Amino acid sequence: MARQNKKIFISYSDKDKEFALQLANDLRLEEVNIWIAKLDIAAGEKWDRAIEEALKFCKDFLVILSPNSINSDNVRDEIDFAVQEKKRIFPVLHKKCEIPFRLRRIEYSDFTSDYDSGLKHLLKAIKSAVLEKLPDKDIDFIGREDEIKRVHEGLKSDYNIITIDGMGGIGKTSLALEVAHECLAASQNPTFVNNDVQKFEAFIWTSAKDRELTINDVLDTIARTLEYPLLTRLPLEEKRHEVVKHLQEKRCLLIVDNFETVTDDAVRDFILKLPEPNNVKCLITNRVQNLEKAWTVSLRGMTEDEALLLIKNEGDRLGINLDALVADERNFQHFYDATGGAPLA
């Protein structure tokens, strides 16, 4: 089934249109699904409106960098929008110029000296891009070094299921997200070599935190993350079959958050009985221990040092001075004992 929404929007200055069109043609020859204003806006269509819609619709964004484009307000706006919408961005350096600040951390394909090697680099980047729909990390993660290590070890082991368990608010989701982002950063960096951190081609996040999580939801989330959104329309059994097929094509990390609230037995079955070859590692957060045959990391309260740092950070974040609480050792001890070191408290 063809990938939908999988288009790459090409942003360029009209003054570079010759290069842009050549690149567009070459990408199409390689079956890369692109959208470019010059070819894809029909006669009579409103130019601005068409560009705006395409920009919204396309999942990925390619920008042709040159002195012309970095001085174009339109290209600048398009870059801002792509960054804001967290699109996957492929910078293409057409002519030497100062790379816009927001793009500096992204690896670019250099076409300035040799077109063919630039194209080769770009195609590799496009075809190997990691698929992911992870929530952002919105906290300053503290401590838990041993636990992080243990989760990484689980991901490296022969176990397909790794569970993080512990009571509510102890920090299971935060830990899972921290580890997943470490793996993501490694996966996105081709030069990164560290055998202790696993790389994946896709990161799928499902959560039963605020809602009932059915097998249908899990399958839909997988289909969307792997960029087969049309599969979500299929009847359940057919959907399951197709999703499993695509799951086997890639090395995936599937995260199921708050497994303890999952009541649909089919979810459990799906995770436990993924057919071979099983490229999927499943990372589960769970308040209870109800999964056998899993690599288990149990979370307890934070250490006193970690708790101290957390309190300080929280105080800073909320703009309150919590020094009084932690300055008096007896006071802090009392607080620490009462909360058992649970970060939520």
Which residues in this chain contact ligand ATP in the complex, by CB under 6 A? Answer: 139, 141-144, 166, 168-174, 258, 285, 287, 310, 343-344
The site partner of 154 among ligand ATP, Mg ion, none (C-beta below 5 to 8 Å per kind) is none
Of 35, 33, 31, the residue nearest 10 (C-alpha)? 35
Q: Compare residues 114 and 316 and give the one whose CB is closer to ligand ATP.
A: 316
The site partner of 7 among ligand ATP, Mg ion, none (C-beta below 5 to 8 Å per kind) is none
Smallest distance, Mg ion to C-beta of residue 219, A: 22
The site partner of 231 among ligand ATP, Mg ion, none (C-beta below 5 to 8 Å per kind) is none
Of 221, 189, 217, the residue nearest 205 (C-alpha)? 221
Distance (Å, whole) CA 246 – CA 226: 8
Q: Compare residues 172 and 281 and give the one whose CB is closer to ligand ATP.
A: 172
Smallest distance, ligand ATP to C-beta of residue 144, A: 5
Would you count residue 261 as binding Mg ion (CB under 5 A)? no
Residues paired with 22 in a beta bridge: none
Q: Would you call the peptide bond into 277 cis, given omega within 30 degrees of 0 as the criterion?
A: yes
The site partner of 139 among Mg ion, ligand ATP, none (C-beta below 5 to 8 Å per kind) is ligand ATP
Fill in the DSSP letter of residue 228: -
Residue type, 39: L
Tokens of 309: 């740092």
Q: Compare residues 173 and 214 and give the one whose CB is closer to Mg ion.
A: 173
Distance (Å, whole) CA 343 – CA 160: 29
Nearest-CB residue to Mg ion?
173
Q: Compare residues 173 and 313 and give the one whose CB is closer to Mg ion.
A: 173
Beta strands in 113-249, from DSSP E residues, in sequence order:
131-132, 161-165, 202-207
Q: Which of 33, 74, 173, 216 binds Mg ion (CB under 5 A)?
A: 173
Tokens of 258: 């708050």
Q: Vertex 120, ends 223 and 128: CA angle to 5°?
A: 25
Smallest distance, ligand ATP to C-beta of residue 325, A: 17
The β-bridge relationship of strands 161-165 and 88-93 is unpaired
Smallest distance, ligand ATP to C-beta of residue 132, A: 19
The site partner of 341 among Mg ion, ligand ATP, none (C-beta below 5 to 8 Å per kind) is none
Smallest distance, ligand ATP to C-beta of residue 337, A: 18
* Residue 15 burial class via C-beta count within 10 angstroms: exposed 0-12, middle 13-18, buried 19 and up: middle
Q: Compare residues 16 and 165 and give the one whose CB is closer to Mg ion.
A: 165
DSSP element (H, E) containing 258: none
Smallest distance, ligand ATP to C-beta of residue 141, A: 5
Per-residue mark of binding to Mg ion, 21-60 (x: CB under 5 A)? ----------------------------------------
Residue type, 163: T
Residues paired with 298 in a beta bridge: 165
Smallest distance, ligand ATP to C-beta of residue 286, A: 9
Site for Mg ion, rule CB under 5 A:
173
